[in-house]
A and B are shown apart, each in its own frame.
Chain A
């Protein structure tokens, strides 16, 4: 059974810092991995999707990497802004199955 963990659980940084969020999964036979952003009480906003054959994806200030062999993915946020404050969820999908979500990292970017 796939299990997903995320470290740290919460993170508070001053504006402008570069930061890294970590996601680990137990079953490396994944189909893809997706990073989401969730604002309090709101829906899930897809940030980046990485297929199992890819090693990284980039979108603006966001870069996500995938190392299947070690069961890890990182989300790198450059030049953080207060508007980046949210919970970031990592979700892993095995072949033919649904997403398994991690518990999330709650990010606060202070002005």
Chain B
């Protein structure tokens, strides 16, 4: 069965650079979630989208932005990168509550290292 795809899997950037992470949800899933997991930390919710609209917002810095496109894939844009942004970034997808969705399926993550 198709899973959530994230690209790239690994990314190395320098401070103050920008980065774009991509997430391709499971086919027919209309909701995408982004999580950040710092070293030794549990995953923290950043932002979610349903039908291309932002549905919920968590602890996402103002330097980050995200969007969901017409094909339901999502991109997380990160600017003015800081050392503290080094983390594993997970994307998850699900069907919406309205469509009877209840389980989030997680991608393998993108490991971002800021030097």
Whether A76 is near chain B, meaning CB under 8 Å from some CB there, is: no
Interface of A is mostly: strand
Determine how close the nearest CB of chain B comes to the CB of A35; give it in whole angstroms: 12
How many chain A residues sit at the interface, stated as a range, is: 20 to 34
A36 to B45, CA, bound (A): 16
Chain B: interface residue total (CB-CB under 8 A):
23
Whether B72 is near chain A, meaning CB under 8 Å from some CB there, is: no
The residues of A that contact B25 with a CB separation of less than 8 Å are none
Whether A46 is near chain B, meaning CB under 8 Å from some CB there, is: yes
A44 to B103, CA, bound (A): 13
The residues of A that contact B90 with a CB separation of less than 8 Å are 43-44
Residues of B75-115 contacting chain A, CB below 8 A: 88, 90, 92, 97, 102-109, 111
Q: Report yes or no: B42 in contact with A104, Cβ–Cβ below 8 A.
A: yes
A residues apposed to B, CB below 8 Å? 31-32, 34, 36, 41-44, 46, 49, 51, 89, 91, 93, 95-104
